[in-house]
Amino acid sequence: MDEQPITPHAGPVLDAQGNLTYIGVDGRRYVIGLPPEIDEASLERVMTLLRRGNAVFHEIERLCHRWISEVTGPDLDSRAALVLLLTTMETALEECYPESDTP
């Protein structure tokens, strides 16, 4: 199965079962996996942080759409531009944020 990134349509929420979920632009619900040892208090703190960043996320999404529209052309279609953007951003940011920043 070819897994493609799914753009969230809305910020993550806790569902009735306590799962952290979001709705993708494709209309499907996605469950975000959290470490099994996370407790309710930790989960609520994570949700608070995610809600705090919601406006910034939407600004980043708007800028991504703008960048893709500016670089898309005869030699680079929009899907290839999206893959290039995500790959480049991951590479640029992963040096600043190691796999685990907790001791």
pLDDT of residue 3: 59
Q: Could you tell me the two tokens for 44?
A: 């609520």
pLDDT of residue 35: 60
Q: What's the average pLDDT block by block, 10 residues per block, for the chain (103 residues)?
A: 59 73 77 70 80 87 94 94 88 77 49
pLDDT of residue 9: 62
pTM above 0.85, yes or no: no
pLDDT of residue 22: 79
Closest by CA to 22, choosing from 80, 61, 64, 77, is: 61
Domain borders along the chain are 1-38, 53-98
Instruction: Specify the DSSP class assigned to residue 8.
Output: B
pLDDT of residue 100: 59
